[in-house]
């Protein structure tokens, strides 16, 4: 089966073929670096990584561009509220540049810990101000913009299919809107450039043909995607919240400038939910990857959990589910580890695996297939090679994982140490009791000449 992906522009599962043979260009919207990313945000990057791995397994070379939003994203996603970066700066007492660098570094380290492959190009909005100004100037010349007291706006009435991606009901939006849209002509019109307010004292502002200010959030992605990938490339991704506003507006700007919808396929990862609602930085316990590590989880336990759900379904997070994922991943690791040297991968299972991935990235079924391989009557060497091949899609790092590298939980290490001391003191009853406790916790103690080693059972 050839690769089929669900494209939100056509709302269809479509056969994927790259525009340029053999090579796939991807743009995915990156983090707004005013704070840490929560594990919900990270689910979206795990989805994009799964897509890249599936494309590579299909023999394509992938060229991936990801932006860092370090200016212009307002607290409302639309044109109201404050710049998240300026707000984050006040919250932390650090400069906007300092927090951008800090949260970008943490984000990149999170990706590494999750075995997410880096994009080929990282691009920051603040490094591309001239490109954004040139973009706006171009669409201004073509008659798509107007000026208000607070900025330059895109006139969405100039496009006859504005809102197609989200199937927006434009008439309904226009007749029903009660919110104050200021001087905007229509609720769907959006800011391309905002003027700095005289009382604002912004840290990040630039001169422009329209006055001192800063770019809107959407223009950065259109300008940078076009710079690195051209007017029309293969796949654009982001989270589902990007469909009605951010991606809709990226498309509108690009249609105005170059007459294309920017990307051939539009893919969106669905939300991670916390207590039934979209996980958000402003709500509930702020779950960072580091917090999961502090509670004794491996970041890849979270990756496993994400692969148990399809990217086009919302996934509920709770610690019971994470514990189940940890148990499953540890079982997978130890079973793969015990298979010895790899032989030749089984072509039938590899074909079935590719069919699951090619069916709109069905990682949950691909994972189930991995367990079938372990239960099958293939030889140990064939099982090992087949699972290592699967892991090029899963990204659990099974090949480089060695049971000896495993981090043993602290309470087990304490019991093992107490048992060693009891043994040295020749208190054999106590030593046996403690050894049994370690075994009940799922671990074995191996005595060497002058020390001991703890291993998973």
How many chain residues bind ligand AMP (CB under 6 A)?
Answer: 17
Taking CB within 5 to 8 Å according to partner kind, which of Zn ion, ligand AMP, none is near residue 354? Answer: none
**29, 54, 256, 398: which one binds ligand AMP (CB under 6 A):** 29
In the bound state, the residue with its beta carbon closest to ligand AMP is: 239
Lay out the site mask for Zn ion across 191-230 (x = CB under 5 A, - = otherwise): ------------------------------x---------
Rounded to the nearest whole angstrom, what is the least distance from the CB of residue 33 to ligand AMP in the complex?
8
Lay out the site mask for ligand AMP across 36-65 (x = CB under 6 A, - = otherwise): ----xx-xx---------------------
Interface positions, 106-165, toward ligand AMP (CB under 6 A): none
Taking CB within 5 to 8 Å according to partner kind, which of Zn ion, ligand AMP, none is near residue 31? Answer: ligand AMP
Rounded to the nearest whole angstrom, what is the least distance from the CB of residue 29 to Zn ion in the complex?
3
Taking CB within 5 to 8 Å according to partner kind, which of ligand AMP, Zn ion, none is near residue 221? Answer: Zn ion
The yes or no reply on residue 305 touching ligand AMP (CB under 6 A) is: no
Interface positions, 202-261, toward ligand AMP (CB under 6 A): 238-239, 241-242
**3, 24, 26, 29: which one binds Zn ion (CB under 5 A):** 29
- HEC profile of the chain: CCCEEEECCCCEEEECCCCECCEEEEEECCCECCCCCCHHHHHHHHHHHHHHHHHHHCCCEEEEEEEEECCCCECCCCCCCCEHHHHHHHHHCCCHHHHHHHHHHHHHHHHHHCCCCCCCEEEEHHHHHHHHHHHHHHHHHCCCEEEECCEEEECHHHCCCCCCCCCCCHHHHHHHCCCCCCCCCCCCCEEEEEECCCCCCCCCCECCCCCCEEECHHHHHHHHHHHHHCCCEEEEEEEHHHHHHHHHHHHHHHHHHHCCCCEEEEEEECCEEECCEECCCCCCCCCCHHHHHHCCCCHHHHHHHHHCCCCCCCEEECHHHHHHHHHHHHHHHHHHHCCCCCCCCCHHHHHHHHHHHHECCCHHHHHHHHHHHHHCCCCHHHHHHHHHHHHHHHCCCCCCCCHHHCCCCHHHHHHHHHHHHHHHCCCHHHHHHHHHHHHHCCEEEEECCCCEEEEEC
Q: Which is nearer to ligand AMP, 125 or 300 (CB)?
A: 125
Taking CB within 5 to 8 Å according to partner kind, which of Zn ion, ligand AMP, none is near residue 125? Answer: none
Binding site for ligand AMP (CB under 6 A): 29, 31-32, 40-41, 43-44, 69, 238-239, 241-242, 269, 271-272, 278-279
Binding site for Zn ion (CB under 5 A): 29, 221
């Amino acid at each position: 089966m050839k690769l089929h992906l669900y494209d939100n522009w056509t709302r269809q599962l479509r056969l994927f073929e790259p525009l340029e043979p053999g090579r796939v260009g991807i743009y995915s919207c990156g983090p707004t670096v005013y704070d840490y990313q929560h594990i919900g945000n990270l689910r979206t990057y795990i989805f994009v990584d799964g897509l890249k791995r599936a494309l590579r397994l299909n023999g394509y070379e992938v060229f991936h561009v990801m932006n860092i939003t370090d200016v212009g994203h307002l607290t409302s996603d639309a044109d109201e509220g404050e710049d998240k970066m300026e707000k984050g700066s006040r919250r932390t007492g650090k400069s906007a540049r300092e927090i951008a660098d800090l949260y970008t570094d943490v984000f990149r380290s999170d990706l590494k810990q999750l075995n997410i492959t880096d994009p080929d190009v990282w691009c920051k909005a603040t490094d591309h101000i001239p490109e954004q100004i040139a973009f706006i100037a171009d669409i201004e010349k073509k008659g798509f913009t107007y000026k208000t007291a607070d900025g330059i706006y895109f006139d969405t009435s100039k496009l006859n299919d504005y809102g197609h991606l989200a199937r927006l009901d434009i008439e309904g939006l226009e007749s029903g809107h009660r919110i104050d849209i200021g001087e905007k002509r229509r609720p769907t019109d959006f800011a391309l450039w905002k003027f700095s307010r005289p009382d604002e004292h912004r840290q990040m502002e630039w001169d422009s043909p329209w006055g001192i200010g800063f770019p809107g959030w959407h223009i950065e992605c259109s300008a940078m995607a076009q710079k690195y990938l051209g007017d029309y490339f293969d796949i654009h991704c982001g989270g589902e919240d990007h469909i009605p506003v951010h991606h809709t507006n990226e498309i509108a700007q690009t249609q105005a400038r170059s007459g294309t919808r920017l990307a051939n396929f539009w893919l969106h990862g669905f939300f991670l939910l916390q207590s039934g609602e979209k996980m958000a930085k402003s709500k509930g316990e702020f779950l960072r990857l580091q917090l999961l590590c502090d509670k004794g989880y491996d970041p890849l336990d979270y990756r496993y959990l994400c692969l148990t759900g399809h990217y086009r379904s919302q996934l509920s997070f709770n610690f019971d589910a994470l514990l189940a994922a940890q148990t499953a991943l540890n079982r997978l690791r130890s079973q793969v580890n015990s298979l010895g040297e790899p032989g030749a991968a089984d072509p039938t299972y590899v074909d079935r695996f590719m069919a699951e991935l090619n069916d709109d990235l069905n990682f949950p079924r691909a994972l189930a297939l991995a367990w079938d391989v372990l239960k099958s009557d293939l030889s140990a060497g064939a099982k090992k090679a087949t699972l290592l091949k699967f892991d090029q899609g899963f990204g659990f790092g099974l090949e480089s994982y060695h049971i000896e590298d495993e981090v043993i939980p602290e309470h087990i290490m304490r019991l093992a140490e107490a048992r060693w001391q009891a043994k040295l003191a020749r208190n054999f009853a106590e030593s046996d009791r403690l050894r049994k406790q370690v075994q009940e916790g799922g671990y074995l103690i191996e005595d060497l000449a002058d020390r001991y080693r703890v291993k998973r059972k």
